[in-house]
Chains A and B, each alone.
Chain A
Amino acid sequence: MRRRAHSEPCSVPEEFRRTLRRALEDLPARSRRRLWPRATAAAIAAALALFLALPNLFPQVAEAMERVPGLEQLMRVVTIREWDEGDDAHALHVKEPEVQGEGGAAVNEAVDAYVAALLEDFDAEEGARSLDVSYAVVTDTADWFTLRIDATRTAGGAEDFSRFYHIDKATGERVQLSDLFPEGTDYVSALSEEVRRQMQARLEAGEEFFPEAFDAIDPEQNFYWGADGTLYLVFDEYSVAPGSMGMPEFAVSPECLKELRGE
């Protein structure tokens, strides 16, 4: 059958050829990443409502959607494990998600490892303590998916921290910060400098930070995209600022981002 498939001629329609050539001619001289999906905030809200609420609330809707050719590509997030443990000395609540859809496996593997590490730390600690792990879908548009894992650890004081997991739906692959920039780009130094600059400006404006505690961003620093396409770098509570500042975020200026992307 394969021999026959190759031996049968097939002429690509002229209109298709013209369209393809036009698309290729229109490409810019240099590849530029469209880092943020084109969807507006309203579209994000609509996408979240349709693609998350319905299939997750009504299994029959999810099954029906998955039977439609192509719709198996939709992200579906379900709770695969949720449990509570507790006594006088400790309390544990874990709600762990599973992402179903293209690219979900890589995210699930990373989330599994992260939750396992949290539990290991929790078990290793002594004294009164608690750990609460949950999740939220931050973005689910036609182009992009972001899942956030939230954790609150209590041992004397309370500490909040989150991890973000992204999927570029066009490629179906998990994306980390390093994937946003061309190979060889020193984005760590550039973004660290941007964070330092903003930290100093915010210190002068009366906010509190620990500039001496900040050396450089992690190469795979937590990030997410704002609804307007701004890239936000996120730090754990207490890591670069007092707990009263929560989890500090730094918006990367479009100019800085453009420069790193070589635009």
Chain B
Amino acid sequence: MAQMDKERFVSRVLEMEPALYRTARSILRSEQDAQDAVQEAVTQAYARLHTLRDPEKFKPWLLRIAVNACYDVCRRRRTTVDIAAVEETLAAPQSDCVERMSLWNAVQRLPEEQKAVVTLFYYEDLSIRAISEVLGVTQGTVKTRLSRARGRLRRLLEQQGGV
């Protein structure tokens, strides 16, 4: 199977721009970290393009690489206090995206482990199986996190009068 050329790769990545942004932000609190992780993910994905056997699976394949890049940032960050991230979190209610998106706002308040699952399921329409592959956890874990997240989201949205 012919390998995707740069033009096609760039086009597919740009189609996935919102997905990459949301997924990165579901794992990382800082805008800067999300940018760094996605930048690294895109570079890694391009370098490993030959490992993509089925172009139909480009989206979960790239998201998986992006998720791993985000986790790398988490690992680098975990021993330090990121002032920028704290400031962004404090400033979150005023941010353009959150202000207009009450569901997204609620998603941001979920526990770390549930945010990525909800983002991939509701925003990116990935199946339970695809999510388990992207995040490297079992399908049972995905279902459990999703179920807990649903309950929590409902409560959060009810409290906000957003349901």
A residues near B (Cβ < 8 Å) are: 1-2, 4-6, 8-13, 15-17, 19-20, 22-24, 26-34, 68-73, 101-102, 142, 168-173, 175, 179, 181-183
Q: For residue A68, which residues in chain B have a CB less than 8 angstroms away from its CB? A: 74, 78
Enumerate chain B residues within 8 angstroms of A1, measured Cβ to Cβ.
103, 122, 150, 153
Of listed A8, A13, A20, A181, residue having the most chain B CB within 10 A = A20
Residues of A within 8 A of B123 (CB): 5-6
Contact B27 A72 (CB under 8 A): no
Tell me whether A173 and B122 are in contact in the complex, defined as CB-CB below 8 angstroms, given that A10-B22, A16-B38 are known contacts: no
Name the residue on A nearest B24 (C-beta): A16
- On chain B, the number of residues with a Cβ less than 8 Å from chain A's Cβ atoms is 56
Contacts of B70 on A, CB cut-off 8 Å?
70
Query: Is the CB of B159 closer than 8 A to any CB of chain A?
Result: no
Chain B residues engaging chain A, CB cutoff 8 angstroms: 1, 3, 6, 9-10, 13-14, 17-18, 20-22, 27, 31, 34-35, 38-39, 42-51, 61, 64-65, 68-72, 74-75, 78, 96-97, 100-104, 112-113, 121-123, 125, 136-137, 150, 153
Pick from B47, B68, B97, B136: contact of A34, CB under 8 Å: B47
Residue of A nearest to B71 (CB): A70
Provide the residues of chain A in CB contact with B71, threshold 8 Å. 69-71, 73
Other 14 A-B pairs with CB < 8 A, given A19-B35, A24-B13: A1-B103, A13-B21, A19-B39, A24-B10, A27-B6, A31-B46, A68-B78, A69-B27, A70-B70, A70-B75, A71-B75, A73-B71, A142-B72, A172-B64
Is B50 a contact partner of A33 (Cβ separation < 8 A)?
yes
Q: Is the interface of B mostly helix, strand, loop or mixed?
A: helix
Once the chains are docked, how many angstroms separate the CA of A9 from the CA of B48?
32
List B contacts of A12 (CB < 8 A). Answer: 17-18, 21
Task: Looking at the assembled complex, report how far the CB atom of A54 sits from the nearest CB atom of chain B, in whole angstroms.
Answer: 14
Q: 11 A-B residue contacts at CB 8 Å?
A: A1-B122, A2-B121, A5-B103, A10-B21, A10-B22, A13-B96, A16-B21, A16-B35, A24-B14, A70-B27, A73-B136
Q: Closest CB of chain A to B154's CB: distance in Å?
A: 9
Question: Taking the nearest CB of chain B, how far is it from the CB of A143, in angstroms?
Answer: 8
